[in-house]
Amino acid sequence: MRQYSEKVIDHFKNPRNMGSIPDADGIGSVGNPVCGDMMTIYIKVRDNIITDCKFETFGCVAAIASSSMTTELIKNKTLDEALKITNKSVVSELKGLPPAKVHCSVLAEQAIKAAIDDYKSRI
C-alpha cells in the first residue's frame, strides 16, 4: 500500500480550485499515456498576475493532489513567478510523494507552462 502524506490526502479529499473557467485566458492540457492521468489547468491573467486558476484532472490521488496544490501555488503570482514553480516545489509543498507517483507533479509543472504558453499565444 502506498503511503501518502496528510497534505496529499487533504488535497485529494478537499481539492482546491477544482473546475473550469469558461472564459480562461490560458488553458494547459497535458497527459501521461502510460498511467492515463490527464490534467488541465485554466488561468485568468490581469496585469501579468494569475488572478484565478482552476483545474480538471482525471487521475489518481497524487494527480488530483498535485493539481490542487499547483493551483494554490500559482494563484496571485506573476507569470514569471508561476513559471519558476517546478515539480519539486509541488512535491515539497505536498510533503512528499511516493517515487512511483512523482510523475504526477511533473504533469502539474507541464500544465502550468502549457497554460501560460497558451495565454502568451493569445495576446
- Catalytic residue positions, numbered: 35, 104
Cβ proximity of 117 and 21 under 8 Å: no
CA angle 94, 97, 103 (to 5 degrees): 110
